Amino acid sequence: MPDIPPQLLAAAADAPLVMLVLWMIHMLRREVQARQDAPPPAAPPMPQGVFQGRDDLTEFKLEVARTYVPLSLIRDLDSRLSLHLVRIEEKLDEVSRAATAAAAISGQALPSRKVGFSTRAEQEVHS
């Protein structure tokens, strides 16, 4: 038997594994390239039942809110939302006043317009 160095035997034993890893990397690159070149799959159309299901769910949520939520909680939530809307309206009015003042200082003319919920309510009353 010929005298073969152990490093050469180990390299010969590892060669098939190295070839397998290189082949897997090559196949992976081909697959990634094919996925990048292919157009994305089209989303399936939404069935009509989904929209009906959303409407049914909305109605059920309203029924639960009416039936199981105490009226005091609903009133509390309504008052909190109203307070937040009033704060937002005040901030918008403040920004509008600041913009008007800045325009007056710079000499630019701003078109006259009213902003806010009270203005919308006045317009609804007049129409």
SS3 of 56-89:
HHHHHHHHHHHHHCCHHHHHHHHHHHHHHHHHHH
Domain that holds residue 22: 7-37
Which residue has 């199981």 as its token pair?
A: 68
Residue 44 in any domain: the answer is no
Q: What is the predicted pLDDT for the residue at 25? A: 94
Residue 58 in any domain: the answer is no
Residue 119 in any domain: the answer is yes
Q: What would the mean pLDDT of 7-31 be, rounded to a whole number?
A: 90
Q: What is the predicted pLDDT for the residue at 101? A: 85
Question: pTM for the complete prediction?
Answer: 0.35
The better pLDDT of the pair 120, 5 is held by 5
Residue 64 in any domain: the answer is no
> Is the pLDDT assigned to residue 44 strictly greater than 90?
no
Percent of the chain that is helix, strand, coil (3-state, to 5): 80, 0, 20
Residue 14 in any domain: the answer is yes
Residue 63 in any domain: the answer is no
Residue 104 and residue 112 in contact, taking contact as beta carbons nearer than 8 Å:
no
Tally of domains in the chain: 2
The better pLDDT of the pair 105, 125 is held by 105
Q: Which two tokens stand for residue 33?
A: 């390239």
Q: What is the predicted pLDDT for the residue at 122? A: 65
Residue 90 in any domain: the answer is yes
Whole-angstrom distance, CA of residue 49 vs CA of residue 114: 44
The better pLDDT of the pair 75, 24 is held by 24
The better pLDDT of the pair 49, 71 is held by 71
Residue 21 in any domain: the answer is yes
